[in-house]
Amino acid sequence: MPSKKTDSPKHSQLAGTDTPDRANTNAKVQSLEDVRSDATGQALRTNQGVRIADNQNTLKAGDRGPSLLEDFIMREKITHFDHERIPERIVHARGTGAHGYFQSYGNHSALTKAGFLQDPAKITPVFVRFSTVQGPRGSADTVRDVRGFAVKFYTDEGNFDLVGNNMPVFFIQDAIKFPDFVHAVKPEPHNEIPTGASAHDTFWDFVSLVPESAHMVMWAMSDRAIPRSLRMMEGFGVHTFRLINDQGVASFVKFHWKPRQGVHSLLWDEAQKLAGKDADFQRRDLWEAIETGDYPEWELGVQIVPEADEHKFDFDLLDPTKIIPEELVPVTPLGKMVLNRNPDNFFAEVEQVAFCPGHIVPGIDFTNDPLLQGRLFSYTDTQLSRLGGPNFHQIPINRPVAPNHNNQRDALHQHVVHKGRASYEPNSIDGGWPKETPPAAQDGGFESYQERIDAHKIRQRSESFGDHFSQARLFFQSMSPTEQHHIIKAYSFELGKVEREAIRAREVNEILANIDLKLAAAVAANLGLPAPTAVTVQVKGSQLAQSPALSQLNHPGVVGIKGRKIAVLVADGVDAGSVDRLVKALEAHSARPLLLGPTSAPVKAADGTQLPVAASMEGMPSIMFDGIVVPGGKASTDALAASGLAKHFLLEGYKHLKAMVLTRELSGSLGLKEDKGLVLGDDQGAVDAFVKAVEGHRVWEREAAAEAVPA
């Protein structure tokens, strides 16, 4: 499928045309080009460069005799094959990625001395990896789970990795509990079930015993855990970081990625069906969007807290289970990220990319968040075993565009031939090179923030980390009624999979009751448990009763229906003019209309023309689309009304609250009534109403009626 070409930096910066700061961008592109291999027109050779005459047969003693050990070609080929796989990530194993660029909106030197945030003309290459947490590499994309959102900035001061999630908090406060959490959420050890899911005893046993997890579990039970697309989810740095300017003035910050496509999710029924019908749904969606030129975009922003205001909140900034509500500290936009190029090789780029929160540049520094502090060790330690040693930074996808000269030599998979006699510092033999760069110099060396610390060594949690329920309550009470309904259903589904009633009761009575008694009562009723009548701990009040920024319905996006997939159902006898009007109207909004027929064969229109289809309705079911339109043509609509497959497609789309354009006759035959998102006709007014409904993502007003519709 051809890409849409533009003259904007989002395309041309990787093509080597005249764009700002293209030298830095092209340096990264060239570092990958240097190691790419194109076999077109090339002779088949061994890894040692020897031409191969026969790649079909092992060397044997006679045509039916034993294979000979001396066959170096066969041995090399089989040996390499036997060692092709590397250990998958313990968490975030299932992922995908893309290349792109970041561009600052302005000069943010008052906030940070990080160079990539100071020049709006600078184009900084990035690579982003999205992932699920729990499942292995072969698990499905659409499971209920946290999504990883890791960005590698190839800045000219070194690589900066912003390694976050699509949720702004985490399950635990201290890194020492991370192995316990992961062991609990992973498949149970006695039977390795379930794959890619948290709906089992060990997870709920752990979180019901660890109240600090209550806020994050609330996010995980919300629609945030089943995003419609990787392009349509927020990203967060999770932890509080520091930004530092040239004068040494530091500010606390929280990093935010806000998608210009809006924040949208699947329905749970859709997510489950997609896991079976297209386990690659989200990675396919990202790939196709980039290939067709619908480049995903996010705005990078920060919440800024001056050091003097560190203790002005009713929570601790160092607590990773807490957010700073945006109503208290708005997000300040810094720049925009665009993903505009797919990987050339999944393994070499997506699997071998190595992120670490400890990869920072001058102007960015850490805080004493105890979860962050553990991550600074854990990520590098993980890469050592996954990627075969300490030289993983030399793998092309991990190489910085900045030079990296030091005295770290040798070790496994060393790719650099180091010159010189001195592999130590200081030295005089090699003229003292490489030398340190004083922090005060232009392009100065990295200097850690000088934070005064005067304390005893102690294993103890700060009292300021002790409130586990007020922000979980704030989250639930900030949701729309629709979102609250989904959260209740999610808790009920997950806990319904728990075998031990004691665990279910503990979660309801000791966790949910302390968040919201109505929530607890609704879940209890669905589980057949008595409703709790009182809290078990005294929950302190929050500074806010609600935070509208937490509701997805308040983040519709700014790009309309750009990139949205619309199913156009056709059968023999369809009105070709109606098809043409609808398709052109949708394409005018940069949507992606796809014609679907009863089979994959072309459809014959009423005027005799042949209309090729993208797929059959069975091959691409309604759950893969954002909206459905049915063009006019009596023979076509009669055929659809008589088709069980088409009726299922349409009823399922209605049940999943999709916007739809139908003929009056077809709507009547299905027993569906016109509503805000079910539009009759194919004129411009119908298209306008349909587009507006798709912009809202779902026809939420239909949900109560739709739940009674079989599909």
CA atoms of 233 and 262, how far apart (whole Å): 7
Quote the tokens at residue 43: 């002779």
Quote the tokens at residue 40: 């077109």
Annotate 552-608 with three-state secondary structure. Answer: HHHCCCCCCCCCCEEEEECCCCCCHHHHHHHHHHHHHCCCEEEEEECCCCCEECCCC
DSSP element (H, E) containing 100 = strand 95-104
Quote the tokens at residue 457: 């060594």
Distances, alpha carbon 298 to alpha carbons 449, 557, 653, in Å:
29, 10, 29
Are the CB atoms for 353 and 398 separated by under 8 Å? yes
Rounded (10°) CA dihedral 657, 658, 662, 668: -20
Distances, alpha carbon 30 to alpha carbons 36, 271, 516, in Å:
10, 39, 55
Phi, psi of 337 (to 5 degrees): -110, 135
CA atoms of 485 and 490, how far apart (whole Å): 9
* Omega prior to 211 cis, within 30 of 0: no
How many beta carbons lie within 10 A of that of residue 247, not counting itself? 9
Q: Let me know if 190 is exposed, middle or buried by CB neighbors in 10 A (0-12, 13-18, 19+).
A: exposed
Name the active-site residue from 92, 99, 215, 589. Answer: 92
Quote the tokens at residue 176: 């020492």
How many beta carbons lie within 10 A of that of residue 7, not counting itself? 9
Name the active-site residue from 26, 159, 165, 514. Answer: 165
Phi, psi of 593 (to 5 degrees): -75, 135
* Omega prior to 194 cis, within 30 of 0: yes
Phi, psi of 293 (to 5 degrees): 85, 5
Q: Is 554 a catalytic residue?
A: no
Are the CB atoms for 125 and 25 separated by under 8 Å? yes
Are the CB atoms for 227 and 264 separated by under 8 Å? yes
Phi, psi of 165 (to 5 degrees): -135, 175
Q: Is 159 a catalytic residue?
A: no
Which residue type, as a one-letter code, is found at position 631?
P
Distances, alpha carbon 624 to alpha carbons 96, 211, 413, 529, in Å:
19, 37, 43, 37
* Residue 608 falls in which region: left (phi positive, over 0), alpha (psi -120 to 50) or beta: left
CA atoms of 475 and 493, how far apart (whole Å): 20
* Omega prior to 438 cis, within 30 of 0: no
Distances, alpha carbon 372 to alpha carbons 310, 354, 522, 539, in Å:
18, 17, 36, 26
Are the CB atoms for 662 and 630 separated by under 8 Å? yes
Q: List for the chain the helix, strand, coil content (%; round to 5).
A: 35, 15, 50
Chain centroid, CA 441 distance in Å:
39
Distances, alpha carbon 67 to alpha carbons 44, 46, 277, 683, in Å:
22, 19, 44, 72
Are the CB atoms for 288 and 1 separated by under 8 Å? yes
Q: Give the active site residues.
A: 92, 165
